[in-house]
Chains A and B, each alone.
Chain A
Amino acid sequence: MKKWLSVMACSLVAFTILAGCGSNSNKNSSASPEAVSSSPATSAASEAPKADPVKIKWAIFETDNFTDALWQSIIDSFEKEYPDIQVEKVLMTGDSRPQFLKTLLAAGSLPDIMLDPAELAKIKDVLAPVPDDLLANFEDGSVPVFNNQKVLVPASKQLRSATYYNKKMFADAGITDVPKTWDEFLAACEKLKAKGITPLITAGASDVWATSFGYWVNVVNPEVEVWNANFNADLKSGAAKWNNPVITDALQKWQDLYKNGYFDKGSLSYSYSQASAEFQKGRAAMMMDGSWVAPSLDKGNLTDFGVFQQPTKDGITSYSAAFNYMAVSNSSKNKDAAFKFLKYFLVDNKDVYLSYIKADGLLSSTKEPVTYEMGPVQTQFVDSLKGLKLVDEITKLPGDNALPTGMEDFTQKSLQSILAGAPISKELDTWDDQYKKLSAATAGN
């Protein structure tokens, strides 16, 4: 008996230890449905066998849309074309990719190529200047300048966010048309609530970004843009403050939605994927979410869902789109190989590029547009933007008026406190203090 117990105890301990060791294989060879073939392409593959292939590391992240198989298919295609270069994936984990990259930067082990490096561009000399011949392939005005340098490659364009809704729940509550003004939106919330349907859901818990993402992009950002189109520049010069009547009022409306019981009660305890799943299961009627949701609804053939542009106090005035950037580390020993990879992936092989933008419902950022057939929800999303003004997003604005590094993470934490009931004006005062502190730190003082 005792022997059995010890054997069982030991196995349990061994299992626990091993359970933590499961690694994400970087050599996943499983064929992706999105797998792309290597095209004859423009770049000349070197025929002569090389002794030691150059190894470069590529920091990626995974979502339901951006799968390991997708990234691997891009790498496989590249390696077939350039057998002398090997690309190894580094998976960015955790809820904040900027924080992940900054930790690697502090440890001196920044990967050669990175997805989502915009926060690092704000710090001098961390990213390598991009060769002009590569940048020449992208849309005019898509390349930001930081400290007089062009260090980011605008890999794709992303429509940011809209409000997704459950058509059946709207019909059940007697809502015949999507809301076009803030009052209509509130009336819709009230009608849904009266029918016992939870109007809204968002995420919380450890996915801090997801709590405020939809509301910030859909409501706060457009209202600030209507009020002051140069908010970032004014913030930098000291002419504007975070604690201003427009942001305070916008956040008060958000807090009121929560206080009035329009949000699902468990919102602040869901992870982002949990909240999305609960929304699709019909736990709430609306979710303000990213453009990436549209292709996944289409992929799942979820025809019960529709999408509309969220009205603000000024009506529906604008939408925002942001570029997704990629970059090469300035400390990379193989910058040429790294830029070769980016050129192959984003410019030379249209099939590879298409597989990347299509997976997440992105738009091409290349001078020569790359398009694909969109599903019904994504089409509705794009159609809903017609006639609206494209505006900058305060927290994502690249270039010299960008927020100091770390500021976006700080605002997201504080926004979660605000939704949970923290006094708004007092929280916004901490934004102003932190903005000054982080600006000084980003400038290296």
Chain B
Amino acid sequence: MGKRSILFALPAFIIYSALLIVPILLAFMLSFTSWTGYAANPIHYVGIANFIDLWKDEKFLHSIWVTLRLVLVVTLGSNALGLIFALLLNKSGKLTNVFRSVFFVPFVFSTVAVSFIWSSIISYTGVINYLLGVVGLETWQTDFIGNANHAIWSISIIEIWKTVGFNMVIYLAALQTVPAELYEACTIDGGNARNKFRHVTLPMIVPGISISVLMSVINEMKQFDLVKVITDGGPGSGTETIAYHIISQAFGYNLLGYSSAIALVLFVAVVLVSIAHLSITRRFEVES
């Protein structure tokens, strides 16, 4: 039985190792070299030089700042809205399923397709500025993409719109695990709707919050596709995220060793954030 199960697991294990574990280990090794990515070029070991260069690379430091802003805004926005929508839709009603689908649909769309659609909406000559012009608010017309500060906000809002449905589903699942007796007990004790949310719902859905927030944080820490299509990291390097910086160093400038070093730093950061996050939220978890 044991041998047979190993046999069944083997194909998946081999594919997983070959496509994930091995590249991660290779990236770890490459981060200590100056390899350019071309097979013909020799691989020179450079010690920790790449990791020292990192902290002198202003574009990398800026990409950390951009990524942190995205992580903060999107995680807060998407989770707060996801929870609100879940609370509103956690009941049986005629249109409940319709609304659940409506909020979830953006998550299903391909990011690249979504990015192109949003680009045409928020472009300077796009729908939003056109409508502002029609109603006589020309002074409100804004360059949503060509100004780095506006562009980060635009990307954050699109990302919240796209991911809110996914977070809502996690919160809906979490809300449905809260036993009805607890709400009854709260009512008997004279609790109102606010008390129910504060003292029953919130403590009971901590595992849901935990997973949803963690997924948002990790997703935004590796944000690439939306930025690539909408601004291509621009104007200039204004909206480059860490993941964007990794890809451009590797394939734009052929600094594969250096980009592996950044990837390793990002990997360690994601692991540390995840551990910290889980250990903090675990303290708030309660058993029903």
Q: Which residues of A contact B (CB under 8 A)?
A: 2, 5, 9, 12-13, 16-17, 19-20, 95-96, 99, 102-103, 105-106, 108, 123-126, 204-208, 211, 265-270, 274, 278, 405-406, 409-410, 413-420, 422, 430, 434, 437-438, 440-442, 444-445
Interface of A is mostly: helix
Q: With A123-B40, A270-B146, A441-B36 given, can you name 18 additional A-B contacts, CB distance below 8 Å?
A: A5-B101, A96-B252, A206-B234, A266-B124, A269-B146, A270-B124, A406-B252, A406-B254, A413-B234, A413-B237, A414-B236, A417-B236, A420-B146, A420-B148, A420-B236, A422-B236, A437-B253, A437-B255
B112 in contact with A208 (CB, 8 Å): no
Contacts of A205 in B (CB 8 A): 119, 123, 145-146, 230-232, 234
Question: Smallest Cβ distance from A361 to chain B, in angstroms?
Answer: 27
B253 in contact with A410 (CB, 8 Å): yes
The CB with the most chain A CB atoms within 10 A, among B39, B228, B237, is that of B237
A416 in contact with B236 (CB, 8 Å): yes
With A102-B254, A417-B237, A420-B146: A19-B123 Cβ-Cβ less than 8 Å: no
B143 in contact with A268 (CB, 8 Å): yes
B253 in contact with A269 (CB, 8 Å): no
Q: Mark B212-244, 1 if CB is under 8 A from A, else 0.
A: 000000000000000011111111111000000
Q: Which 10 A-B pairs have the closest CB atoms?
A: A417-B236, A266-B124, A268-B146, A206-B232, A269-B146, A269-B145, A406-B253, A444-B41, A420-B235, A416-B236
A444 in contact with B108 (CB, 8 Å): no
B232 in contact with A95 (CB, 8 Å): yes
Query: Complex Cα distance A106/B254, Å?
Result: 9
Interface footprint category on B: 35 or more
Query: Complex Cα distance A95/B228, Å?
Result: 11
Q: Mark B33-58, 1 if CB is under 8 A from A, else 0.
A: 01011111110100000000000001
Question: Smallest Cβ distance from B120 to chain A, in angstroms?
Answer: 9
Is B268 an interface position by the 8 A CB rule? no
Query: Complex Cα distance A95/B231, Å?
Result: 12
- Partner among B34, B41, B236 whose Cβ is within 8 Å of the Cβ of A418: B236
Query: Complex Cα distance A2/B95, Å?
Result: 10
In the complex, what residue of chain A is closest to B109 when comparing beta carbons?
A16
B255 in contact with A266 (CB, 8 Å): no
Q: B71-120: which have CB < 8 Å to A?
A: 97-98, 101, 105, 108-110, 112-113, 119
Query: Complex Cα distance A9/B39, Å?
Result: 47
Is B183 an interface position by the 8 A CB rule? no
